[in-house]
Amino acid sequence: MTRPSAGIDRQHVCRLVTRAIDPAVPDRELLHRFADRRDEAAFDALLRRHGPMVLATGRRVLGNAHDAEDVFQAAFALLAQKAASQRWQPSVASWLYQTVHLLALKTRQSATRRTRRERRAVTRSPANPLAELTGQELLAVLDEELLALPEPLRAPLVLCYLEGRTRDEAAECLGCSPSALKKRLERGRDRLHDALGRRGLGLSVALLGTLVAGGTAAALPGELAKRTSHAAQALANGNAADGVVSARVGQLVHQGIGMTGVNKVKAALGVLLLGGLLATAGAVASSTGDDPPIPTVPKSAPDQPPAPPAAPAAAGVMRVVVLGPEGKPLPGANVLASIWTDEEDFKATRDIETDAAGVARVELPKTFTTLRLWAGKKPFVTLHASWEQGELAGAKGVPAEYTFRLETAVTAGGRILDEKGNPVAGAKVWVQLTNDPKPARSDGRLHYAYALAWGSDAATADAEGRWCIENVPDHADAELSLLVTHPDYVSGRWARTARKAEITTGELRKGTATLTLKAGVVVRGTVTDPDGKPIKDAIVIHGDDPYSGHTTSTFSTDADGRFRLPALAPGKTSLTVIAPGWAPQFRKLDLKSDLPNQDVRMAKGQPVRLRFVDAGGKPVPSASVELLKWQGSESIYSGRNPNHPKVPDTGIPGRADAGGVWEWRAAPAEPVKIRISAKGFATLEMDVTAGATDRTVTLTAEHRVIGTVTDALTGKPIPNFTVIPVDVFRKDFLATERYHAVAGKAGRLEFLARRTDISLRLRIEAPGYRTQDGPEFRVGEDAGRKQDFRLTPSRPITGVVVDAAGKPARKAEVLLATPTEQVRLSRDDNHRAFTDASGRFEFPDPGEPWAVIARTDAGFALAEFPADRADAGALKLRPWGAVRGAFSDGGKPVRGATVFASPVRVLDLTRPCVEFGLQATTDADGRFEFPRVPPGAVSVRVHLGPWKDKGFRSGPSAPLDLQPGERIELNLGSGGATLTGKVKLTGTVPADLDCTYSLNYLVRREPGIAPPPEVAAAGFDARKGWRDSWRQTTEGLVYLSTLSSWFVKLAPDGTFRVSGVPAGEYDLAVAVYAKPSGCLIDPLARRVVRVTVTAADAARGELKVPEVTAEVEAVPAVGDEPALSFQRADGKDGTLADCRDKYTVVHFWESWCAPCKKQLPALKKLHERFAARGLATLSLSLDEDPAAWRAALKGLDLPWAQGRLGAGGAAGVSGVPAYWLLDPAGKIVAKVDDPDQLAAALEDKLKRVPAER
């Protein structure tokens, strides 16, 4: 039974407030969102913010774009891995800089790494001037000294010089005042100058310019960002690193640098992930509108098995043809081939010059997973094409020949001035392509190269401050980003023409664009043995997670046992000391100016001895052992510190011996978490305790699925097929990971499954057969290791794409979506095909309902079909629509607001899943533009949520019926009346409750655009007023998007302002929550009031709304004796009265809530720790679906009482997780939000238990 007090659907509320990312949200908060909610948008925002700097650093250190992409992915993989465990600073820029630099150094040491720069493939650049002057060692010195700076001084330098931010922006990122930032920046430059001076190098203008030019942010390829985002999501959800990224990246993460691996998050996403899908920015219309698909006569199914697909014409060689703009062969062009392969002797990166016929022959290895090509020659625009892993896992492979037709370039330029208007000679101007406009003859695979001027090719301002580049795409939609650097000035940030509007594309084309440049605690101590004798070469570590790239977190003591750490930011940190033969020591520090010397006396440890064996009892030699965590900190480590080769050995072994024995002779008394890994075996994590008896640890074999794939009619092996892992979030909710697909041949199935947090299936796909899913299995279990597939011959899905005139559309991109395989139109890793000269396309039969989406520059088409339909007929392209406009609030244009354009479409698990979300950012005049929008019902919405004050108070949403080829101009937030008023909370209002965290809407009580049929059938009617059911169902949320509405942000005191409201009748719906600890559940106060805006109000431009009162429901407080009834896990009724006579933790949670599941391990430890002292624990689920609750309990193994709140059992819990501590009399003695607070409360109360009893 659903509790009446629930009010709104919890998953929908959680989605409503996490749809978009405010650009001003600190990095730390984004990481928390990603760790707690698996918020993909939060991680993507971090990629956009810091990806260019990370990629540029890797390129500068390595001199090779392919290797730089590897270390880029590894750096962000580690960030995803560490998101939940690290105590982050407000900005992660400095952390990422250190991490990618160290990864790059490690990569450079490998003899098998490729050494040529990608940019040499597209233009023949002059020799590196740095190498001619002082050699690459100079950059290494600069990096080394920058990394050696204390974090408070290094972070401003990274933000201002390497990411190009202004001082104000850097101050906001670091959470300090501009004046404090200025001091830190100046001190950092002085320290860097002094350090270089001690090494015989002065920080001259030229030297600083070299540093900036070598490390400033580069453009971030959309492809790379998408792959990295996929990998981050998979890593955070429990996949092994080498299963979600390339082998090279996996090696960097796991072995190459010795960093801690993937956190095996145990929170099953379930309905939460479904909520993420339904909360996306929208999806395309479900039909092609007025032009339905043209049916063709279906063909009968074949009686015989299909013939295998044809192989490429020239096995082992790909012929690349480069033509000029006129279509003539272009000799002397450069072709770069970047190939991902595990064949160690194969040269994976090759520069090839085209011959007199414009041909370059690219040698291919026997096996590879990715192929990327760049082609260019001055003065033309460089083009790029790629074949990624998900596509190459299919049977077609790469073509025997591919043609690039280069385009004529145009110039861009401008002038660089200082604040007095004087020219800045010698300024370096980096230029990149910000967006992804398609070349004139794009086949859907072809893109412009994004980097136009970077590194030594950056433009240099002359004596008049003028600069110019000559390789810009001549495309109307091309947007450029600039970064200007100069050693005597604060480097400008990346100035995006379309977003920041500091410059425009038109100004750049004319050469008139103008940019203006604007002119801690020291820890000391000693380390001694128990007798007070100094210990030399002891390792002193500060911070709880210092080995994800922090070179300056680890220091050694001198001959007198003394150490000195660099200046650290005031605040909480930790100090760890490790010395051979002694147990590690750990203490927490509160860094203040009066911090005394930290004198650490070491103590003897106790041995830990493990013997690793396989299932047959045989020793597993040389198993790797990593120390992960100790006393809640990750500062402890084994073996040599990979981030600093000068750090002495600690004496902690990193591997077992030849007999499979690992012994640590001086382990601490507290448990230490370790990770064991060995080739051919599944990774194992466990806790070890010093002094315990010797243990034998049995390692289980890795989960490798083997079997056969044969024809169901003939029994013969199928020669070519694709193996695709499928995530099983629920029985009715599957998600395909095509980007992890692998190719199968000769009927032999082999797949290494690594994901451990949820169940999996394998999907087998082959041309001419119906796709088949195997049985559900879990990694580590015996079931599912042997699977045989017998595929049924079946007609492929076919169709023809035609243009508006009915002519075949050649090289149109066609995407296939099903209920279990989502298409994201903003990504390149979908299941896709390209039409041939006759406009025809083909896909293997998916065996489930399907949709095809066709798109070209000329238009867009989408059509859905049932599972038994094989012919899509003719898809007629309809011209794209366009939407542009301006957003104002309070009578002023709003800069930096995020605007979404979302086609109105209901998503559910039985229909093909298509996501189409468009996003734009308003410029200085509040303007935004969406140049390509699918025609049909569209909702344009300004994003605003309750978490952040974005400077404007209401976010309008406008429904549109966009016709093919139509151009619509919107003025959001202007015209009409500005509504002002106040919401007043009444009743018993908790002291910590205000109106900050609230979800409020002003909704027009008039029909908007026509809703989809399934929504119309639900009977929603705006004229009858607001109903909470609009937020309870998917159909209701879609219905809301068909109406004119405003998200209303309340100030803490309840005041509000809504701008641009025309005359009409409205409902103002208010829902106020307590500050959430994880996921929103039920509002504590709600109210719906009628608002009338007259024509006179609209003409006058203002309306004061009478005070809105909202009564707060009763919330049990400390000192109260709550009486809750609930359903126990055994089906019987229970009450809190059953918990009398002992202290009881009441834990509120929901099965779909990721933050709830994240806290369960800590709650388990508290239960085990205090159970012996008489503590009882009771978990109460607020799940509305009892089946979902019971299913979750089966997989969680919670060793305490479980219950689910029934009707009438409202607890006044606004968000979960939440905890009450009841005393033996049943009174609440503490209300907290996390296990750390709970632990403190338990320590305080249970220490008095004997006296109270």
Mean pLDDT confidence for 786-793: 96
pLDDT above 60 (res 745)? yes
Model confidence at 110, pLDDT cuts 50, 70, 90, reads: low
pLDDT above 60 (res 729)? yes
Among 587-601, 819-833, 1044-1058, name the one with the lowest average pLDDT: 819-833
Amino acid 272: pLDDT? 26
Average pLDDT for the chain: 81
pLDDT above 80 (res 255)? no
Model confidence at 314, pLDDT cuts 50, 70, 90, reads: very low
**Residue-wise pLDDT tens digits, 351-391:** 999 999 999 999 999 888 889 999 999 889 999 999 887 78
Write the single-letter amino acid at 1189: W
Q: Quote the tokens at residue 1204.
A: 């689910």
Model confidence at 10, pLDDT cuts 50, 70, 90, reads: very low
**Residue-wise pLDDT tens digits, 1125-1158:** 899 988 898 999 888 889 999 999 988 888 888 8
Torsion of CA 410, 415, 416, 422, to 10 degrees: 170
Q: Is the dihedral of CA 734, 738, 743, 746 positive or negative?
A: positive
Share of the chain above pLDDT 90, in %: 39
What DSSP character marks residue 702?
Answer: P
Amino acid 71: pLDDT? 87
Mean pLDDT confidence for 395-421: 90
**H or E segment and range at residue 753:** none
pLDDT above 90 (res 419)? no
Share of the chain above pLDDT 70, in %: 82
**Residue-wise pLDDT tens digits, 429-454:** 989 888 788 898 878 788 998 888 87
Domains of the chain: 27-114+133-266 (no CATH), 315-405 (2.60.40.1120), 408-519 (2.60.40.1120), 524-698 (2.60.40.1120), 704-791 (2.60.40.1120), 1125-1252 (3.40.30.10)
- Residue pointed to by tokens 């979600």: 244
> Which is higher by pLDDT, 1038 or 946?
1038
Q: Quote the tokens at residue 745.
A: 């041949």
pLDDT above 80 (res 728)? yes
pTM of the complete model: 0.60
Model confidence at 121, pLDDT cuts 50, 70, 90, reads: very low
Mean pLDDT confidence for 595-613: 94
Model confidence at 680, pLDDT cuts 50, 70, 90, reads: confident
Amino acid 78: pLDDT? 84
Q: Are 870 and 796 in contact (CB under 8 A)?
A: yes
**Residue-wise pLDDT tens digits, 274-293:** 233 223 333 333 333 334 33
**Residue-wise pLDDT tens digits, 871-884:** 999 999 999 999 99
User: Alpha-carbon distance 567 to 544, whole Å?
Assistant: 17
Among 330-334, 513-517, 704-708, name the one with the lowest average pLDDT: 513-517
Question: CB under 8 Å to 988, separation ≥6 — which residues?
Answer: 1112, 1114, 1115
Model confidence at 853, pLDDT cuts 50, 70, 90, reads: very high
Amino acid 417: pLDDT? 93
Closest CA to 821 of 929, 719, 701, 733: 733
**Residue-wise pLDDT tens digits, 808-849:** 999 899 999 999 999 988 777 789 999 999 999 999 999 999
Question: In the Cβ-directed half-sphere of 352, how many Cα atoms lie within 13 Å?
Answer: 26
Amino acid 66: pLDDT? 74
**Residue-wise pLDDT tens digits, 517-533:** 887 678 899 999 999 99
Amino acid 306: pLDDT? 41
Amino acid 197: pLDDT? 61
Amino acid 578: pLDDT? 92
Query: Distance from CA of residue 399 to its chain's centroid?
Result: 32
Q: Quote the tokens at residue 178.
A: 């501009």
Write the single-letter amino acid at 1040: L
Q: Are 755 and 727 in contact (CB under 8 A)?
A: yes
Write the single-letter amino acid at 263: N
Amino acid 654: pLDDT? 87
- Widest pairwise Cα distance in the chain: 96
Amino acid 436: pLDDT? 80
Model confidence at 125, pLDDT cuts 50, 70, 90, reads: very low
> Which is higher by pLDDT, 339 or 992?
339
> Which is higher by pLDDT, 1056 or 316?
1056
> Which is higher by pLDDT, 255 or 1123?
1123
Mean pLDDT confidence for 1191-1214: 78
**Residue-wise pLDDT tens digits, 146-194:** 777 777 888 888 877 777 777 777 777 777 777 777 778 778 877 776 6
Distances (CA, A) of 1049 to 854, 989, 1056, 1059: 39, 20, 6, 12
Closest CA to 254 of 768, 846, 675, 613: 675
Model confidence at 247, pLDDT cuts 50, 70, 90, reads: low
